[in-house]
Amino acid sequence: MTEEQNPEQVILTKLKDSFYNSADFVAKPISWWDNEVAILCFYSSIVNKADVERIMYFFKEHLRDDNMYWGESIYTSVIPLDEKQLAKFLCDGETIIVRLKTREMIRINLPEMAYRQTDEPASEHVLQGSREGLVENFDVNISLIRKRVKSHRLVVKQKTIGYETNTTVYYLYMEQLVDEEALQLVEERLDKIKVDLFYSTGQLTDYMEDSVWSPFPQLLKTERPDRIIASLHEGKIAILSDLSTTAIIGPTSFFSFYQTPDDFNGRAVTGSFYRILRIFSFIIAIFLPAFYIAIVSFHFEILPLELSNQIKSDIENIPYRPILEAVILEMTIELIREASIRLPTSVGQTIGIVGGLVIGDAIVSAGLVSNMMIIIVAFTAISSYVVPSTEMNSSIRFLRFPFMILAAFFGFIGIAFGAIILLIHLLNLTSLKRPYLTPIIPFNPKAIFKIFIRMPFFKPSKHPKSFSPNEDGKS
């Protein structure tokens, strides 16, 4: 037979060529109504083939009833044949039946994408509360959120980004609670993303943040559905991708990075204590090494005489200035941390413990650093890891280096100058055009009190509404 006598073969060949003869692309002729030949298309890697066979059997049973036109249902829809749309639907995990006679496509929604089962996020452990975390699947993630918020005011909208990847990004908010100006800004920035490849939340963060070169994260990242719910009820917006387990929340404030679900799952007194401790750890992690370097380099006179003599005897045999001591130790800790993260869990823990002990003892014995510097740097490292957010943790570890340099050259004056610059930067920083230091700027005494003190739930109080001007509630 010639090609004119077999149009389905022409279409089959054209389809397979269009999809570059991929090994997992299936296109085969099937019999339809009244000796009509249709073409069944799907990707076997992202479609349940057993479901396809079941649906096809169901179709054939109905076709026996002389039902020539298959109408729309929950699982299917009928649209005119379009090659670009056909490719998009197939890549989304749909099964398509192409009717050559009527030039129609019957869409069958039977995707079976691979994804992990829900588990507790590795970077957000809690002592009490939910152990569920987000996965790389939209339906699962939204179900985790909707089962916690049984309200029609929870709105989910989507946007496709990436000309090649066609990644679906979802943003969630609570109607009547959301900050409308922030929501409009999120939608505008999502519309402006014009890229070929979009595959990570890191890309999304760069497009959504107000100051991408700032060391401070302006959007909160989390993998916990309960934390997303709490943020939505504060008038914030959550952005998710079907390729990542991480949700991006904004607008957010500096103090949001120092709160955890444990604050609300535990007792009010202990929750308040650990909140204050975390914020205090921010000051220690940034300023303690610089403070020590400034004292040793310029201001020995402020120490008690006995302590001053002890530190002098400890550092008198060190061949270089304290700033080099601190940099050597800080870089050693960073190298050990990176190695322990990249290696398998069991090996990484061993590297962290043994490497820290062996290297620490060896460099002291070799006279490269002093014992006091090891104490200072170790205490600083512990303080930086108290921060619940890995993003803020990285920022703090970076910021102590400029302060150490300022302390080494200018002493306390350098630290004071750096602190002023840091404060000015924080005061000017915004998250989706909202002040980063809310509720300090704009000043709100009651909200500042709630930053440090977790009030008991039975105490009637206003809903935290830093970014929700439309409604009050209960915290």
Q: What is the pLDDT of residues 381-427, one digit of tens each?
A: 889 888 888 889 889 989 999 999 999 999 999 999 999 999 999 99
- The count of structural domains within the chain is 3
Domain end marker among 68, 94, 109: 109
pLDDT reported for residue 461 = 52
Does 313 lie in the same domain as 246? no
Q: Is the dihedral of CA 396, 399, 401, 403 positive or negative?
A: negative
Neighbours of 20 (CB within 10 A): 7
pLDDT reported for residue 459 = 59
Q: Tell me, letter by letter, the H, E, C secondary structure of 19-80.
A: CCCCCCEEEEEEECHHHCEEEEEEECCCECHHHHHHHHHHHHHHHCCCCCCCCCCCCEEEEE
322 inside domain: yes
Establish whether the linkage from the previous residue to 442 is cis, with ω within 30° of 0: yes
Question: CB under 8 Å to 464, separation ≥6 — which residues?
Answer: 234, 447, 450, 475
Does 425 lie in the same domain as 306? yes
Beta strands in 197-343 (DSSP E): 220-222, 237-241, 247-250
Q: How far apart are CA 333 and CA 107, in angstroms?
A: 55
Does 420 lie in the same domain as 274? yes
pLDDT reported for residue 265 = 81
- Which phi and psi angles does 220 have, rounded to 5°? -85, 130
Radius of gyration of the chain (CA): 30
pLDDT reported for residue 346 = 67
pLDDT reported for residue 440 = 87
Domain end marker among 93, 109, 125: 109
pLDDT reported for residue 178 = 93
466 inside domain: no
pLDDT reported for residue 362 = 79
Residues 181 and 433: beta-carbon distance below 8 Å: yes
Parallel, antiparallel or unpaired: strands 104-109 and 94-99: antiparallel
- Is residue 159 classed as helix, strand or coil in its secondary structure? strand
Does 378 lie in the same domain as 278? yes
Of the candidates 373, 389, 352, the one whose C-alpha atom is nearest the C-alpha of residue 259 is 389
Domain end marker among 229, 252, 275: 252
Does 276 lie in the same domain as 248? no
Q: How far apart are CA 390 and CA 8, in angstroms?
A: 56
Residues 184 and 253: beta-carbon distance below 8 Å: no
Residue with tokens 């090494």: 289
Q: How far apart are CA 451 and CA 449, in angstroms?
A: 5
- Which phi and psi angles does 166 have, rounded to 5°? 50, 50
Does 237 lie in the same domain as 271? no
- Is residue 447 classed as helix, strand or coil in its secondary structure? helix
- Which phi and psi angles does 49 have, rounded to 5°? -65, -30
Does 64 lie in the same domain as 35? yes
List the alpha helices (DSSP H) in 316-411. Answer: 322-342, 345-365, 371-384, 390-410
317 inside domain: yes
116 inside domain: no
121 inside domain: no
Give the DSSP letter of residue 118: P
Does 356 lie in the same domain as 279? yes
List the alpha helices (DSSP H) in 123-256. Answer: 138-146, 180-191, 201-208, 225-232
Does 408 lie in the same domain as 357? yes
Does 288 lie in the same domain as 372? yes
pLDDT reported for residue 66 = 47
Q: Give me the domain span that covers residue 173.
A: 138-252
Per-residue pLDDT for the chain (475 aa), expressed as one digit of tens each?
444 557 778 888 888 888 888 888 999 988 877 778 889 999 988 888 888 888 888 777 766 554 444 555 556 788 888 888 888 889 888 899 888 888 888 888 877 766 677 778 878 888 887 888 898 888 889 989 998 888 889 999 999 998 888 888 999 999 999 999 999 999 999 999 999 888 888 889 999 999 999 999 999 999 999 999 999 999 999 999 887 889 999 999 999 999 888 888 878 888 889 889 998 999 999 999 999 999 998 888 888 888 888 888 888 878 888 899 899 888 888 888 888 777 777 676 667 677 777 777 778 777 788 888 888 988 998 898 888 888 898 899 899 999 999 999 999 999 999 999 999 999 999 999 999 999 888 888 888 888 888 877 765 555 555 555 554 444 3
Does 346 lie in the same domain as 198? no
Does 428 lie in the same domain as 317? yes
